[in-house]
Amino acid sequence: MTFSAMRLLRESVTGHRGWKPLWRRPGPKPRYDIVIVGGGGHGLATAHYLSRVFGKTNIAVVEKGWLGSGNVGRNTTIIRSNYLLPGNQPFYEFSMRLWEGLEQELNFNAMVSQRGIVNLFHTDAQRDAYRRRGNAMLLSGADAVLLDKEKLRRMIPFLNYDNARFPIKGGLWQPRAGTARHDGVAWGYARAADRAGVDIIENCEVTGFRRDAGKITGVETTRGFIETSKVGVAVAGSSSRVMAMAGLRLPIESHVLQAFVSEGLKPTIPGVITFGAGHFYVSQSDKGGLVFGGDIDGYNSYAQRGNLPVVEDVAEGGMAVMPMIGRARLLRMWGGIMDMSMDGSPIIDRTPVEGLYFNGGWCYGGFKATPASGYAFAHLIATDTPHAAASAYRLDRFAGGHVIDEKGVGAQPNLH
Amino acid sequence: MLIPHPLLGPRDAREFTVMGDAGMIDRPDPAAPDAADRFYEYVYLRDNPAGVHRELWFHEYGDRSWLVVTRNTLTHEIVAVELASDVSAKREKSR
Ligand SMILES: Cc1cc2nc3c(=O)[nH]c(=O)nc-3n(C[C@H](O)[C@H](O)[C@H](O)COP(=O)(O)OP(=O)(O)OC[C@H]3O[C@@H](n4cnc5c(N)ncnc54)[C@H](O)[C@@H]3O)c2cc1C
């Protein structure tokens, strides 16, 4: 089933009775060439690129819950490539380019909307730091524009420019950044992978790895043993739990991040806005709700729900940048479990166990990475060599001191 | 979340900053032959369990004491709270 304007027209005059499920519901086969653990954005994207780009077949994605029940369906949907460090920025720009062609490639409307992101700055020193970051972005081939206060005011008039404590002096604008429909991304990748013959097996939790002489020979699951020689793990917040089953301790802590959405409003916010003096980011969904968030709660958690101090902190951040948000009613809030790494950057690498590959440590920024993460992980699994854009994301970089620490706060995950 | 402080009674979690795994108390011996490896593990690797976890909380906006909080990361239930100074004093004695 291919989506097209013709198809939509035909369905709308025949009562929408011809739409079919987007993917099959197969049970596990006894053997696959490659098993991907985790049916979130990254796992599904990996399966898609393994078949589409690297020509692999006989692949399964095993997911413990339902497809998209993890962070891919819980995030605030911001996509951007506005990083500073050489290990990161080219990777995120690679991802941005994949986003730009994603919907044509998948034949699926993932609602990729390049409405732009503005990072506000509040001091001269912060402006200089953003200028440097903007230059790093330009060097990687991305777009960046430094806006002064007057230009910014014309674009976003409703901000609290004259806040006594944190006056807004301008912003770093990436016009190509924006948002995408998070579960649409999961569904789009799932459908494309399924159409290429990938088995997506839901309600199938991996409970152990079978090894022989240091090599992977299969995975134990709640739906029985599956034989395979290559396993790619992309389980986000569950990274430590799953990799512990292979005897590995990771440079990762799991933390809860909350997100919030207001009642639906008429279009008010043009793109994505981030506060530069606290942690607050906001955009408006196509349904009209203001989608926003801030810091992680700061303590280890697997509970998928947060506490009130952070709710208050996020609300204060919102009131400081755009006081009009105080008139909007909060509709819903929820939490997701972040795989916070020790330097705030991800890992895409082989492991000491032959045939076992790991993808994780995405912190609260892995949604924008979904296409590049899947592509680079597929490259690694298919060729046993890292993709050029992800070659800095080594598991052993911490031992050697080659950390990629955008914020420069050290091995303290709750500060990243 | 309320933290039952051993000296001050129940205190709001927002008065605290969290340092993470209480294993931080056990600093490796810098003179040991394998010190580089031990420090790598000490600084970067974590058990990160789903369940009972012992962690260091600092009462920053309070009496500025360090606490060892034993907490369930699946439910946020607090199982035990001790002064970190008591924990390390006990450890010294048993050495
Ligand atoms: C509130 C919130 C806001 C965020 N905002 C943004 C944002 O604006 N921009 C951005 O770029 N990123 C954002 N993120 C981060 C982003 O969502 C994640 O980094 C990314 O989704 C993680 O990759 P994933 O999609 O593969 O993870 P997930 O969707 O969590 O997928 C992992 C899957 O593995 C499965 N799994 C776990 N254990 C097992 C097992 N033993 N066996 C089988 N399956 C298992 C889980 O059920 C889950 O479905 C946000 C996250 C949250 C929670």
**SS3 label, residue A236:** helix
What is the pLDDT, as a whole number, of residue A275? 97
Q: From CA A30, how far away is CA A218, in angstroms rounded?
A: 10
Q: Do B13 and A414 touch (CB under 8 A)?
A: no
> Structural domains in chain B?
2-94 (3.30.2270.10)
Does residue B92 register a pLDDT over 90? no
- Angstroms from B52 CA to nearest CA on chain A: 10
Which sequence spans correspond to the domains of chain A? 27-78+182-251+343-415, 113-176+253-341
Phi, psi of A35 (to 5 degrees): -115, 125
Helix (H) or strand (E) holding A284: strand A281-284
What is the pLDDT, as a whole number, of residue A153? 97
Nearest CA in chain A to B72: A301
The tens digit of pLDDT for each residue in A100-131 reads 999 999 999 999 999 999 999 999 999 999 99
**Which residues of chain A lie closer than 8 angstroms to B50, CB-CB?**
241, 254, 302
Q: Do B18 and A302 touch (CB under 8 A)?
A: no
Q: Do A414 and B55 touch (CB under 8 A)?
A: no
Does residue B93 register a pLDDT over 90? no
What is the pLDDT, as a whole number, of residue A344? 97
Average pLDDT score over chain B: 95
Percent of chain A predicted with pLDDT > 70 = 100
Average pLDDT on A400-406 reads: 95
Question: Which of A253, A303, A307 shows the shortest C-beta gap to B46?
Answer: A253
Token pair listed for A203: 């309600």
Average pLDDT on A218-228 reads: 98
Helix (H) or strand (E) holding A127: helix A124-139
What is the pLDDT, as a whole number, of residue A386? 98
Task: Tell me how far CA of residue B61 lies from CA of A155, A316, A414, B58, in angstroms.
Answer: 40, 19, 18, 9
Size of interface A-B (CB pairs under 8 A): 69
Residues whose beta carbon lies within 6 Å of some atom of ligand 1: A 37-43, 62-65, 69-72, 74-78, 205-206, 234-238, 242, 257-259, 293, 336, 362, 364-368
Q: Which overall architecture, per CATH, does domain A27-78+182-251+343-415 show?
A: 3-Layer(bba) Sandwich (3.50)
Closest CA to A291 of A182, A147, A159, A189: A182
Question: Which of A241, A249, A307 shows the shortest C-beta gap to B50?
Answer: A241
Question: Which of B48, B74, B75 shows the shortest C-beta gap to A253?
Answer: B48
CB atoms within 10 A of CB B40: 18
Does residue A90 register a pLDDT over 80? yes
- What is the pLDDT confidence band of residue A183, given thresholds at 50, 70 and 90? very high
Q: From CA A372, how far away is CA A219, in angstroms rounded?
A: 26
The ipTM assigned to this model is 0.95
What is the pLDDT, as a whole number, of residue B94? 78
Q: From CA A4, how far away is CA B43, in angstroms rounded?
A: 53
- What is the pLDDT confidence band of residue A381, given thresholds at 50, 70 and 90? very high
Instruction: Give the homologous superfamily in CATH for domain A113-176+253-341.
Output: D-Amino Acid Oxidase, subunit A, domain 2 (3.30.9.10)
Closest CA to A59 of A374, A349, A394: A374
Total residues found in chain A within this entry: 416
Q: From CA A242, how far away is CA A355, in angstroms rounded?
A: 15
Q: What's the pTM?
A: 0.97
Nearest CA in chain B to A340: B48
Closest CA to A48 of A14, A7, A98: A98
Burial of A227 from C-beta contacts in 10 A (0-12 / 13-18 / 19+):
middle
Token pair listed for A271: 């793109």
Average pLDDT on A370-397 reads: 98
Does residue B95 register a pLDDT over 80? no
